[in-house]
Amino acid sequence: MIGALVYKLRAENETSLPIVNGRLMHAAFFKILNDFSPKFGTFIHNEWNIKPFTVSFLEPAGKILPFGDRWAVQRDDKFFWRVTGLNEKILQAALNIPVGEKIRAGGLTLRLEKIICDGNVRADTGVVEVEDLISGVKIFQSVDEISFDFVSPVSFRIDDFDAPYPRADLIFPSLADKWTQAQMPAAADKKIIRELAEKIRLTQWSGECKKFYLSKNRGTLAFRGKFSYSLESLSGDVQKVFLLLAKFGEFAGVGRLTGQGFGQTRVSFAAR
């Protein structure tokens, strides 16, 4: 079972907060895991190379004034915070927080007002059995095009530099790796997926590359925007594998630093 939920949060104090606040939210989610089970939180922290969860940056529910790369947060400002889990225990921990609980992000104290985990209420939430995800792509004969709308910055690491371009031969091997690390059913060979992805043609894109600073001295070059790919050069069965990986990416994130707010994507596709 994998899933996504959104917390609705209310600020308890006035402070400033980095707009790129993924590191703070990463720490906040580990606090949630440790409160649920210290043993489980330590295991996830120490033993999992690719973490079986993602967290988003805080998303203001209303207008918040920015100054430079920070927000001026006022008491009672509201935020949404999306979290995903790639196994049932992560989801259980994420759903275990009682309404009214405090969540801290650096100097900001947030009060939990609501947990949304229903795709009818908010489309980027909900829980699905992996078998149902697989069955959902098998119904198509072919998948002509897949589009990734990166709602948060996406970046890949190649040797010793950041690659801010979401090429197909970077996106899909990354997702195959996450699929394997999360112990999903069926094999997704990263090498084979990369070779097949090299046949995919970019059809259109829009967006920009820039450096996003996770802290004062640590920046990552990343892309934000939309990329669309034609899969017509692949066989029908392979197209469905790529669609499965893409849909999995809505929960697993794409690229690096997905546990710190990067790589969130919404997927659309044209299929028959």
Per-residue pLDDT tens digits for 68-94: 889 999 999 999 999 999 999 999 999
Distance CA 248, CA 241 (A): 11
* CATH code at 130-271: 3.30.70.1900
**Helix or strand or coil: residue 226?**
strand
User: Average pLDDT of 99-116?
Assistant: 97
Distance CA 151, CA 112 (A): 23
Q: Two tokens at 194?
A: 């990369």
- Note the pLDDT of residue 47: 76
Q: Do domains 2-116 and 130-271 have the same CATH topology?
A: yes
**Helix or strand or coil: residue 238?**
helix
- Note the pLDDT of residue 17: 94
* List of long-range contacts for 65-72, beta carbons under 8 Å, 24+ apart: 66/19, 67/16, 69/18, 69/19, 69/20, 69/213, 70/16, 70/17, 70/18, 70/19, 71/16, 71/17, 71/18, 71/19, 72/14, 72/16
Give residue limits of the domains in the chain.
Answer: 2-116, 130-271
Task: Return the CATH number of 2-116, one of 3.30.1600.10, 3.30.460.10, 3.30.70.1890, 1.20.1510.10.
Answer: 3.30.70.1890
CB 238 within 8 A of CB 46: no
- Note the pLDDT of residue 159: 83
User: Average pLDDT of 217-240?
Assistant: 94
Per-residue pLDDT tens digits for 148-207: 999 999 999 888 888 888 999 999 999 999 999 999 988 889 999 999 999 999 999 999
The C-alpha R_g of the chain, in whole angstroms, comes to 19
Mean pLDDT, all residues of the chain: 94
Q: Of 84, 102, 104, 242, which Cα lies nearest the Cα of 152?
A: 84
- Note the pLDDT of residue 51: 85
